[in-house]
Amino acid sequence: MSLFLCLFSLALYSAGSLAAPSPSQNIILRDLAVPRFFGAAANTTFLFHDVNYTKVIETQFSIFTPENEMKWESIEPEPNGFDFTAADEIVRFAESVNAKVRGHNFMWGNQLPPWVNDTLSATELDRALKNHITTIMDHYRGKLYSWDVINEMISDNTPNETFKDNIWTQKFGEEAMPKALTYARAVDSQPKLYINDYSIEGINSKSDALYSVVSSFLADGVPVDAIGFQCHFTLGQIPDTLQENLQRFADLGLDVAITELDINLMGPSNATALEQQAKDYWTVVNACVQTKRCVSTSVWGVSDDHSWIPNGSVLPWNAEKQPKPAFYAIADAFEGKPEP
């Protein structure tokens, strides 16, 4: 708002001709987050189709991740048959509100189209992977802030097994992740290359496994710039070691980011649960704020009615797109204020 408009509305306001603004109207989380980004997973099913969703999404965020639109089954449903329509819509929208985009994702065991299956030889799969990454990164050259090159590739059975059993590890073994990262860097040196995963938020066996994988990548010159910590949490269960864990990856010389934050009440909503949820959001955002190399915090969705977790009341806005206690707690954390 210009100074003139500002003074003008102030004058109107004191003259009693405008209703008092609701407290949330003045809180813009993307502004409070500076120098970090505050982000959301954007979903074209709702973008421009749910007016109240659109209002929140176009004012509050400075970085977006397409929820599904860049996943392999959506963007390359047929061999070398690309469909950029929905993904482009999000990229154009982000540009229109001066926000960044996190590309999501290249190498993942899920949401693959039927033609990417184990009848492909390792050579054919390798060719498909390289073509996938090269075509998409070429298409978005100069437009994307980062790519989740790797998504959810660390096993849930560490330390006995390091990598998840999926088509990529079946065909390429431990060369799977380096392949994807190397192809990505070869196309475009600008976007930050991420390894994104879940259950790696605290210091535990799985994050230890990732830590040792990433350390060996860095020693071997495999290109990786950053780690994404998904942070799909359950109410009251934020790991105590979150900040310490972010810091140990940052100390490797990497950026870190909270990429898919939501906090599941695991039951119907009530005032007590919403207060705890606010504390939990504060704890996570504060861990990012306290970590110099933490570049962004993104929530996975915007409002409770459009979450991948139905009935979980997991997000900072309710189904009516009104801010919940969690919204104010995020603001407090970005402003360096204590836990609510």
Ligand X SMILES: *[C@@H]1O[C@H](CO)[C@@H](O)[C@H](O)[C@H]1NC(C)=O
Residues that bind ligand X (CB under 6 A): 43-45, 50-52, 67-69, 86, 114-115, 117, 119-120, 157, 160, 265-268, 270, 272-273, 306, 308, 310-311, 320
Q: Exactly one of 67, 69, 152, 260 is catalytic; which is it?
A: 260
64: helix, strand or coil: strand
Shortest separation between residue 26's beta carbon and ligand X, angstroms = 18
Residue with Cβ nearer ligand X (76 or 255): 76
Residue closest to ligand X (Cβ): 267
Please name every residue paired with 258 in a beta bridge, in sequence order, or none if there are none.
229, 297
Shortest separation between residue 182's beta carbon and ligand X, angstroms = 23
Residue partners of 173: CB distance under 8 A and separation at least 6: none
Nearest to 171 by CA among 209, 105, 123, 131: 123
Residue with Cβ nearer ligand X (149 or 273): 273
Shortest separation between residue 309's beta carbon and ligand X, angstroms = 8
The tokens of 5 are what? 């408009």
Residue with Cβ nearer ligand X (61 or 334): 61
Shortest separation between residue 111's beta carbon and ligand X, angstroms = 10
E runs forming strands in the chain? 37-42, 63-66, 100-107, 146-151, 192-197, 226-229, 232-234, 255-264, 294-299
**Separation between Cα atoms, residue 295 and residue 288, nearest integer Å:** 8
Residue with Cβ nearer ligand X (67 or 76): 67
Residue with Cβ nearer ligand X (28 or 167): 167
Question: Quick check: 82 and 57 in contact, CB under 8 A?
Answer: no
**Separation between Cα atoms, residue 96 and residue 222, nearest integer Å:** 34
Concerning whether 320 is annotated as a catalytic residue, the answer is no
DSSP state of 161: -
Residue partners of 280: CB distance under 8 A and separation at least 6: 233, 235, 236, 238, 263, 326
Shortest separation between residue 17's beta carbon and ligand X, angstroms = 21
Residues serving a catalytic function are: 260
